Amino acid sequence: MCGIVGYIGTKKAVPILLEGLSKLEYRGYDSAGIAVFEDGNISITKDEGRVNHLQDLLNNKPTNANIGIAHTRWATHGKPSEINAHPHADNSKKFSVVHNGIIENYSDIKKFLMDNEYKFLSDTDTEVIPNLISYYYDSTNNLLEAISLACKDFKGSYAIEVICSDCPDRIIVAKKDSPLVIGTSKEGNYIASDIPAVLSHTKDFYLLEDNDIVEVFPSKLNFYNQNLELISRKTEKISWDASSIEKNGFEDFMLKEIYEQPKSIRETIGFKLNKEKIELDNISFTKEFLSNINKIFIIACGTAMHAGLATKLTFENLCKIPVEVDMASEFRYRNPLIDKKTLAIFISQSGETADTIGALKLAKEKGATTIALSNVIGSSITREADIYLYTHAGPEIAVASTKAYTAQVTLLNILALYFAEILEYSDTKLIKELKYELLQLPNKIDDILKNYKEVIPIAKDIYSASDVFFLGRGIDYPVAMEGSLKLKEISYIHSESYAAGELKHGPIALIDNNFPVISIVTDEMLSSKTISNIQEVVSRGAKTIIVTNQDLSKNFDYIIKIPKTHKYLTPILSVIPLQLLAYYISKEKGLDVDKPRNLAKSVTVE
Ligand code: F6R
C-alpha cells in the first residue's frame, strides 16, 4: 500500500527520497511523487507509474534541496493518474502533503471547503488535507495549530507529512492508525512509513504513536499531542541489517525468503525451548488464569489466518479449550461472543493490517485478553494488544508471504505448548516429542529446498492451466488453502482449495481432462480417505500432483516427497513445495513475482 518517505538535513534530499521509495516498492503502488523545498518555493514532481519513471522526470529538474517529502500511492479514491498522485497542494500552493490511510469523512470536509470557495483538482480524499490546513492557517497564522485543528476534524486513518513555504526549516508529521517512524542521525532526520525505507541511513528510530504531531528540524524533533502539549518519546534501536532487505544474489525476494525459512524458524524458536519448561518474553500466565479461559479466538487475514487454521488442532488438543479461527474483516462486524474468559490471539506479519487491528480493538473492548503476534517490532498491533510476541522472520519484502507464515505456525505451536505446560497437560511424552520435532524443522526444510528441481517440470507442465484445485483433509486442508492463495496471487491462475471430502458435493463437476489437482496427504489416519478422493478426480482425467510424507503408489502424475514430522508441525513442511510451485509457475509466465498486480504488502485500509 501507500508508502511515505521524508528527509531533512545536510544531505541532498532527492537521492535519499528516491532510494527510500524504491525500498518501499514491494508494498505495491501505482504512482509516485516528491515535493522538495528550494529557494522559497515548493516544487512537486509526480506521475502515474514506477519510481524509475519519477527518477527520469526528476533528472530534468536538478535540485540541491535538502528538505523533501515523497510518496508511493496505491489507489483507493480515484484512479492512478498524475493528478491523483501525491504530494497534494492546497489552492494557494503554500502547503504540500503526502498521506497514507483514508480520511473517511473527506466528502463532508470537501463540501465544507467548497462552500468556502476552495477548489479541488483530484478525486482523492487526501486533497482535503492541505486545504483544511490552509483554511485553519488563514485564521491562526500558526502552522502547528492549523495542522492540529485539521487532524482533530479527520475521521479515519492518516500518516501525513506537511511542508509549508512559510516555514522552510521543518517538516511536520502527524499520525493516527497508520504507521510512521522517524530515524535520527547526525546528518539529519529520516521519516518513513516503514523502517526498511531508510534503514541504510540509521538504526535509531522513534516509532510514533497515534495522535502524535512532530516538528522535524534537521537536528531537532519536537513531539506534541493533539492539544499541542509537548510530550517525550523514546528511540528504539533496530537490529535488522540493511543487507537483509537486499536480494543477496537471488533473482527475486520471494525466492530469497523461501530459502530463508530454516533461519527464520531457528530465530523464531530462539531460546524458547532451552529450559525444562517453555518461557516466553512478556507472558507470565498462571494455571488459574488459563483454566478460567473457555474460548480462544485466533483472528487474522489471508496467509496469517491460514497460520491460525493450521494450529487450531494443536491448541484444542493440547489445551482442551475450544478454538475458533476467523477472518478479521468478518469477526469485527459479527458481534462475536466475547467476555473476560476469552483469549484472543491476533496474527499479523506487518502488524499494521487495518482489519486485524480493528478486530483486536473490538476484542479488547469486550473484555478479552489479547495477544498479538507480529514480525515487526513496535508495529501498531503490538502496541494495541495486552501481550505481544514476535516472529523473527526478518523483513518480508515479497508481497506473497512465505517465511512469515512458517514462522507464525512455529510460534503458535510454541504458544500452544507453553499453555499446555501451564495447564499441566498429561501427555508429557507428546510435549517432549513436539519440542524435539520443532528443533528438527530447519534441517528438514533445507532438505526440501535441496530438491527444488522436482518442482520445475511440474511448473512447466501446468503453468498454462486456467484453473487449479488444491485438496487436503484435517491438518492438510489449511495448507491447501495457503497453497491456493500463493498460486492465485502471483500467477493469476484461478485456483480454489477444498477439504477433500467436499469435492463430490459440487466442485467435482468442473474436473475434466488435464485439470490440475494438487493434493496434500500427510496425515496417516486420513490419507486413505484423501487418496480415494484423489482417485475420483483421476477417473475424470485430472492431472494429479501430490505433496506427501508417505510412500504412495505411482498412480499419480507427480509426487513430491517431504520429510515426516509430528502431525501438528506438517503445515510448516508441506507448504514449502507449494510456495516453490507458485514461484516457478509465476516465473514460467514471465510475471513480476515480488510485485503482483493489485496487491499490497501491508493492507492498511479496510
Ligand atoms: C498473502 C499475504 C496476505 C497477508 C494478509 C495479512 O501472501 O501476504 O494474505 O497474509 O494481507 O497481512 P499481515 O500478516 O501483515 O496482517
- The yes-or-no verdict on residue 285 having pLDDT over 90 is yes
27-41, 275-289, 482-496, range with the lowest pLDDT: 27-41
| pLDDT given at position 491 | 97
- The yes-or-no verdict on residue 395 having pLDDT over 90 is no
CA 406 to chain centre: 14
Mean pLDDT of 410-429: 96
Cell of 82: 498524475
Distance between CA 165 and CA 147 in Å, rounded?
14
Distance between CA 271 and CA 275 in Å, rounded?
8
Among the atoms of ligand 1, which is closest to the Cα of residue 356?
16
Q: What phi and psi values does residue 403 have, to the nearest 5 degrees? A: -70, -25
429 Cα to the center of ligand 1, angstroms: 35
| pLDDT given at position 62 | 87
Which residue carries 532487505 as its cell?
245
Segment 519-563, tens digit of pLDDT: 999 999 999 999 999 999 998 999 999 999 999 877 899 999 999
Active site positions, annotated: 2, 601
243-247, 250-254, 330-334, range with the lowest pLDDT: 243-247
Percent of the chain with pLDDT over 90: 85
Residue 51 identity (one-letter amino acid): V
- The yes-or-no verdict on residue 1 having pLDDT over 70 is no
Residue in 193, 309, 350 to alter for ligand 1 test, most ligand atoms within 8 A of Cβ = 350
Distance between CA 388 and CA 5 in Å, rounded?
27
Mean pLDDT of 280-306: 96
Segment 122-159, tens digit of pLDDT: 999 999 999 999 999 999 999 999 999 999 999 988 99
Mean pLDDT of 237-262: 84
Cell of 525: 489416519
- The yes-or-no verdict on residue 25 having pLDDT over 90 is no
Distance between CA 221 and CA 232 in Å, rounded?
10
- Does ligand 1 have an atom closer than 6 angstroms to the CB of 302? yes
- Does ligand 1 have an atom closer than 6 angstroms to the CB of 604? no
| pLDDT given at position 145 | 97
108 Cα to the center of ligand 1, angstroms: 32
Segment 250-262, tens digit of pLDDT: 999 999 999 999 9
Among the atoms of ligand 1, which is closest to the Cα of residue 602?
15
Task: Report the SS3 class of residue 513.
Answer: coil
Mean pLDDT of 74-84: 86
For the chain, give the mean pLDDT. Answer: 94
304 Cα to the center of ligand 1, angstroms: 6
- Name the percent of the chain in helix, strand, coil, to the closest 5: 40, 25, 35
- Does ligand 1 have an atom closer than 6 angstroms to the CB of 350? yes
Segment 105-126, tens digit of pLDDT: 999 999 999 999 999 999 999 9
Nearest alpha carbon, ligand 1 atom 6: 301
- The yes-or-no verdict on residue 600 having pLDDT over 80 is no
| pLDDT given at position 45 | 96
Nearest alpha carbon, ligand 1 atom 5: 302
Residue 37 identity (one-letter amino acid): F
Distance between CA 52 and CA 39 in Å, rounded?
26
| pLDDT given at position 601 | 76
Instruction: Write the burial class of residue 598 (CB in 10 Å: 0-12 exposed, 13-18 middle, 19+ buried).
Output: exposed
Segment 45-61, tens digit of pLDDT: 999 998 999 999 999 88
All structural domains of the chain: 2-244 (3.60.20.10), 247-450 (3.40.50.10490), 452-588 (3.40.50.10490)
CB neighbour list of residue 562: distance below 8 Å, 6 or more residues apart: 444, 448, 522, 547, 548, 549, 573, 574, 576, 577
| pLDDT given at position 243 | 65
Beginning with the edge strand found earlier in the chain, give each strand of the sheet holding 543-548 in spatial order: 494-499, 467-472, 516-521, 543-548, 558-561
Residue 400 identity (one-letter amino acid): A
Which residue carries 515487526 as its cell?
376
Are the CB atoms for 85 and 58 separated by under 8 Å?
Answer: no
| pLDDT given at position 497 | 98
486 Cα to the center of ligand 1, angstroms: 11
Are the CB atoms for 2 and 605 separated by under 8 Å?
Answer: no
- The yes-or-no verdict on residue 604 having pLDDT over 80 is no
Report field, pTM of the whole predicted structure over 0.85: no
| Helical residues (DSSP H) of 91-142, grouped into ranges | 106-115, 128-140
594 Cα to the center of ligand 1, angstroms: 14
Task: Identify the H or E element spanning 96.
Answer: strand 95-100
Distance between CA 352 and CA 347 in Å, rounded?
10
- Does ligand 1 have an atom closer than 6 angstroms to the CB of 603? yes
Distance between CA 115 and CA 471 in Å, rounded?
58
- Does ligand 1 have an atom closer than 6 angstroms to the CB of 579? no
